[in-house]
């Protein structure tokens, strides 16, 4: 049985939404994701520009303005809530890991 769209976020989706705490256009989002993760995570231009309209349709982000033919987006309240849900989901996963392998395990 498959999952519904955006039921869980991929890492790319998660970081794109995080980067949109402040209004940004596409290229700025890519740079912000790279900065935020210290270069560990990069979002491809194709991936980003395919996801932005989908996020907008899902009401996770909104178009704030269009400047020099660049669309500037910002996170919405619904998008923020989605990020919180994702955070809690991942926290729960970590908790389950600790329950299985113990809290004293060191990496």
Partner 1 sequence: MKKNFKYIKMTPEMFEDHILVSFLEQQAQEGWIFSQVTDYLLLFKKEQPQLLKYQWSYQKMDDEFKQVIMALGYRVVCHIDGMSILVSDNLQAEELYDDEQSKYMAMAKHHSYAVMILLLLAGLAAFWVFFHPYVLDISLYSKKLSLGQLCLNLLRYMKVLYTSGLFGLYALTSGIYMLYMRLYLNQIIKENGHPSGKLLLRGLKIKTCLKNIYNAFLVLIAGVFAAAYMPLKISQLFAYFAMIIYLIYRFCFYHWAEHFHRRHVALGLCLGALILGTVVSKQMVIAEIEQPLYFEKNIEEVHIHEWSDLLTRYRYVERFDGKNDIDERYVVCLNEAIARIVFQEEIQSLASADHSQIKGVELLDDFYANDVYVVGRKENRVLVFRYRDTAEIEKIIHYYFE
Residues that bind partner 1 (CB under 8 A): 1-8, 10, 12-13, 25-27, 30, 42-51, 53-54, 69-71
Shortest distance in whole angstroms from residue 76 CB to partner 1: 19
Which CB, 68 or 99, lies closer to partner 1?
Answer: 68
Shortest distance in whole angstroms from residue 20 CB to partner 1: 16
Shortest distance in whole angstroms from residue 67 CB to partner 1: 10
Shortest distance in whole angstroms from residue 1 CB to partner 1: 8
Which CB, 47 or 62, lies closer to partner 1?
Answer: 47
In the structure encoding, which two tokens stand for residue 83, read together? Answer: 């990020």
* Angstrom distance (rounded) from CA 84 to CA 77: 11
Q: Can you give the C-alpha Rg of the chain in angstroms?
A: 16
Which CB, 69 or 106, lies closer to partner 1?
Answer: 69
For residue 9, the SS3 value is: coil
SS (H, E, C) 13-69: HHHHHHHCCCCEEHHHHHHHHHHHCCCCCCCCHHHHHHHHHHHHHCCCEEEEEEECC
């Amino acid at each position: 049985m498959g999952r519904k769209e955006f039921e869980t976020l991929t890492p790319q989706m998660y970081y794109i939404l995080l980067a949109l705490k402040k209004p940004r256009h596409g290229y700025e989002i890519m740079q912000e994701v790279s900065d935020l993760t210290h270069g560990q995570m990069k979002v491809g231009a194709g991936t980003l520009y395919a996801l932005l309209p989908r996020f907008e349709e899902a009401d996770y982000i909104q178009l704030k303005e269009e400047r020099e033919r660049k669309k500037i987006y910002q996170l919405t309240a619904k998008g923020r809530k989605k990020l919180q849900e994702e955070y809690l989901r991942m926290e729960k996963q970590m908790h389950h890991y600790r329950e299985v392998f113990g809290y004293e395990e060191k990496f």
